Amino acid sequence: VVHLYVFFFQAEDGIRDAQESRGLGDVYKRQLLARDNGIRTGIKGPKVAVAPAPPSDSDMAKYAPLFKDFNTVSRVWEAPNLTEAWRILYEELQAVEPAERSKIRATDGFGLARLSSNLEISRILLILPNDIREAISKHEKFKLSELEEIFVHCGMHVEARGGDWVHSVPIVATVEDIKHIQKRLNP
C-alpha cells in the first residue's frame, strides 16, 4: 500500500501569532514590512516555513485588472512582471512618508501578496494529474486562495480542504497518479 500526502500549508514566517493567517500572501507581506522597517529576515536556528520566491515570469498585464481594488500605485500594477512589481513597490515605500507607507502596504502590498500567493498555489496544483486537478477546482466552494491541503491516498478518494469546505473528489487515486506526482516533485 502506497500513501502520498500532499499538503498545502498556509505559509507563515515560522511563528504563529494571534492574527488569523491569510495564506502565503502573509509571508510576502511580512517580508515586505520587515524590509521596509530594516528588520533582518534571515533567521538562524531551527528551520522555519519560508515561502518560495514569487513567480517572476508572471505577466502583470494579465492579472492587474483582477486586483484593481488594490491599485493605488499604478506603476506597481503596470510592471511587466511580478518581480518588477515587487521591486517598484519596495521603491515606492522607501520614497513616501510613514502614513502613506501604511496605506500602500494595506492596498498594493496586500494585493500583490495575494496575487503572489494565488500564482504559487496554481503552480503547485500543476503537480497533480489533470483529472484530479480539474475535479478539485470544479468544486462549488473551491477558492484558490483558501486551498490548504490535498490528500492523495492510493486506492482511496482524493480529498481537498480549504476555508470552510472539504471536497472528496469522485476519483480514486491509483499507483499511476502517485507516480505522476512523484515525477513532478522530483523530475
Helix (H) or strand (E) holding 162: strand 157-162
Give the model's pLDDT for residue 56. Answer: 59
Q: Which residue has the higher pLDDT, 144 or 100?
A: 100
Buried (b) or exposed (e) across 58-94, using 16+ Cβ within 10 A? Answer: bebeebbeebeebbbbeebbebebbbebbebbeebbe
Nearest to 148 by CA among 10, 48, 54: 10
Residue 106, C-alpha cell as written in the block: 494595506
Give the model's pLDDT for residue 39. Answer: 39
What's the CA gap between 9 and 109, in Å, rounded?
Answer: 21
Mean pLDDT along residues 34-58: 43
Per-residue confidence band for 144, with pLDDT thresholds at 50, 70 and 90: confident
Comparing 40-49, 116-125, 131-140, the range with the smallest average pLDDT is: 40-49
What's the CA gap between 80 and 99, in Å, rounded?
Answer: 28
Residue 45, C-alpha cell as written in the block: 536556528
Q: What percent of the chain has pLDDT over 70?
A: 68
What's the CA gap between 145 and 128, in Å, rounded?
Answer: 18
